[in-house]
Amino acid sequence: MSSIILPKALSPEEKIVAMREDAKFEVASDSDAENTALLCADGIKGKASPPKIPKLFLASGCVFNCAYCGCRCGRDRKDNYCNTPRELASLAVEAAKNNGHGVFVSSAIYKNADYTQELIAESVRIMREELLYTGFLHAKVMPGADSLLIARTGKYADRLSVNIEVAQSSGYNRIAKQKNKDNILTPMRDISDHILEAKYERVKFATSQTTQLMAGSTGEDDRTIMTLSKALYRKYRLKRVYYTAFQYRHEAKGYENENLTYTVTPYWRMARLYQADRLLTLYGFTPDDVTPADDPFLREDIDPKAAWALRHMDMYPVEVNTADFDTLIRVPGIGITYANRIIAVRRHCAVTHDILRKLNIPLKKCRYFITCGGRYEGGDALFSENLRGYLTSCGKQLSISDSLSAGEPSTLESKILL
Ligand code: SF4
């Protein structure tokens, strides 16, 4: 008779260590994105970023086999763990207490999507009703999860998310074979509908949803990503799209025939995507503005707002004493905060370059695009071929150590998901 050797169950401490590794595949907050400094450096700052929160997982062994994920079933993993809803609820409440800002509850797909979603719903119920947790709670929705289970989860969560992952539907077949457009977009639509219904009926439900989108997984250009993000914000009222870099360093079991090549999407591309996203969501730019059809990739050496200004030099210089808010925020180096400061000062006196310096507005970049009372301090830049060079020299240097492995730019209309 052969004997069955059961794997040793992990202790709570060992589970937490393993969860930290799994958390790397999940971007769930602005601070995870680690690009805040770069956004600020280029004057494309948004609202204050929420603090980083701990991520706790119900289970790590997934029945799906996404090529990029550490939890995929094709991976021979020794430290797989699974929690009961009660165990997960206690771990999550404890972690939230230590962090003070909230907690994110997620999971790999354990057995199937609905079963996992039911366990997540029960975990968040215990957190709220039995452990009386009142802080911020972000809960994951599984691909293809039933609408009723989403409703049950959302009753206890503040935020829900389902990850879209790829920018082109063909990408699912290439790197996430069990996922498809329907099992991602249907839960996303359900969440959006539930949020709206709850708002009208004044019942308790999550108030926002986010998603994660990987760049570089299908050789897509940035125009494809920006167009998709804009559509997601509009159609499903997403709070945020988080961008993450597709990495494929080792051959994944089950993908031997897919011709997947070694891919390391560089850090600078994520930084530029976050900047372009801010321009879409807060500055009134369109995907065409940041990634026009004849220039569909964001650039490593120049931020997307400065790149847009270079394509529209006929609009510059603008007079800071008369320009409206929307014009001011399109000036490279002047963001929402600085535009508000300029307009506030204008009520009392004429704005000069010295006043801009006193307001801490970085003239290094914006001086090429403005006049103050008719005075221009940008030298011969406006008429110079070197303006792009001046701008790149005052932008924050992005990491260029990694190489971009992306295929040919694709035809947007034929491949975009929405
Ligand atoms: S479904 Fe999620 S957890 Fe499972 S392999 Fe894919 S990305 Fe990983």
Q: Residue 178: which CATH number?
A: 3.20.20.70
Average pLDDT, stretch 117-142?
Answer: 98
Q: Ligand 1: which of 19, 57, 62, 246 to mutate, most ligand atoms within 8 Å of CB? A: 62
Give me the pLDDT at residue 63, please: 95
Please give the distance, rounded to the nearest whole angstrom, from the Cα atom of residue 253 to the centre of ligand 1. Answer: 14
pLDDT in tens, 141-178: 999 999 999 999 999 999 999 999 999 999 999 999 99
Tell which atom from ligand 1 comes closest to the C-alpha of 63.
4
pLDDT band, very low/low/confident/very high, at 42 (cuts 50, 70, 90): low
pLDDT confidence of residue 393: 72
Q: Is 69 in the pocket of ligand 1 (CB under 6 A)?
A: yes
pLDDT of residue 388: 84
96-106: pLDDT as tens digits = 999 889 999 99
Residues 177 and 244 both lie in one domain: yes
Q: What integer is the mean pLDDT of 19-30?
A: 69
- The residue whose CA has the least distance to atom 2 of ligand 1 is 108
- Indicate if the pLDDT at residue 321 is higher than 90: yes
Same domain, 188 and 46: yes
| pLDDT above 90: residue 417 | no
Please state the atom number of ligand 1 nearest to the C-alpha of residue 108.
3
pLDDT of residue 392: 80
Residue 417 in domain? no
* Same domain flag for 236 and 344: no
Ligand 1 neighbour 59 (Cβ under 6 A): no
**Cβ(395)–Cβ(302) under 8 Å?**
yes
Confidence band of 132 (pLDDT split at 50, 70, 90): very high
pLDDT digits over 247-256, tens only? 898 889 988 8
**26 C-alpha to ligand 1 centroid (Å):** 10
Residue 381's pLDDT is 78
Residue 98 and residue 138 share a domain: yes
- Which has the higher per-residue pLDDT, 321 or 1? 321
Last residue within a domain, chosen from 259, 290, 321: 290
Ligand 1 atom 5 nearest Cα: 72
Tokens read off for 190? 């359900």
Which residue has the least CA distance to atom 3 on ligand 1? 108
Candidates 19, 60, 64, 75: which one to mutate for ligand 1, based on the most atoms within 8 Å of Cβ? 64
**Whether residue 320 sits in one domain with residue 262:** no
Q: Which of 290, 325, 352 is the last residue of a domain?
A: 290
- Cα(75) to centroid of ligand 1, in Å? 11
62 lines ligand 1 (CB under 6 A): yes
pLDDT in tens, 196-211: 999 999 999 999 999 9
At residue 45, the pLDDT reads 58
How many A from CA of 16 to the centre of ligand 1?
19
Looking at residue 78, its pLDDT comes to: 78
Same domain, 84 and 206: yes
Higher pLDDT, 10 or 34: 10
Q: In angstroms, what CA-CA distances link 141 with 146, 149, 168, 206, 226?
A: 10, 9, 21, 12, 23
Based on the fold, state whether residues 93 and 140 are members of the same structural domain: yes
Q: How far is the CA of 208 from the centre of ligand 1 (A)?
A: 22
Is the CB–ligand 1 distance for residue 175 below 6 Å? no
Please tell me the residue having the least CA distance from ligand 1 atom 6.
66
332, pLDDT greater than 60: yes
Last residue of a domain, one of 290, 325, 355: 290
Percentage of the chain lying above the pLDDT 70 cut: 86
Instruction: Give the model's confidence band at 409: pLDDT under 50 very low, under 70 low, under 90 confident, else very high.
Output: very low
Tell me, yes or no, whether 204 and 335 share the same domain. Answer: no
53 and 193 inside one domain: yes
Same domain, 113 and 158: yes
- pTM of the entire predicted model: 0.86
Q: Which domain holds residue 252?
A: 12-290
| 366 and 229 within one domain | no
What tens digit of pLDDT does each residue of 48-88 get? Answer: 556 789 999 999 999 999 999 999 998 887 788 999 999 99
Q: Is residue 3 part of a domain?
A: no
Instruction: Look at residue 256 in the predicted model and tell me its pLDDT.
Output: 86
pLDDT computed for residue 324 by the predictor? 97
Tell me, yes or no, whether 343 lies in a domain.
Answer: yes
pLDDT for residue 9 is more than 90 = no
In a domain? residue 410: no
Judge whether 299 lies within some domain. Answer: no
More confidently predicted of 187 and 74 = 187
Give CA–CA dist 376/378, Å, rounded: 6
Ligand 1 centre distance from Cα of residue 108 (Å):
6
Per the structure, the count of domains in the chain is: 2
> What pLDDT was estimated at residue 403?
30
At 387 the pLDDT is: 84
Q: Is the pLDDT of residue 352 over 90?
A: yes
User: How much is the pLDDT for 407?
Assistant: 30
pLDDT surpasses 50 at 245: yes
> Does residue 64 line the site of ligand 1, with CB under 6 A?
yes
Is residue 120's pLDDT more than 60? yes
Does residue 268 line the site of ligand 1, with CB under 6 A? no
Confidence (pLDDT) at 385: 76
Q: Render pLDDT for 267-283 as a digit per residue (tens, 0 to 9).
A: 899 999 999 999 999 99
Mean per-residue pLDDT over the chain, rounded:
87
Same domain, 74 and 212: yes
Q: Which range in 26-30, 220-224, 262-266, 395-399 is most confidently predicted, on average pLDDT?
A: 220-224
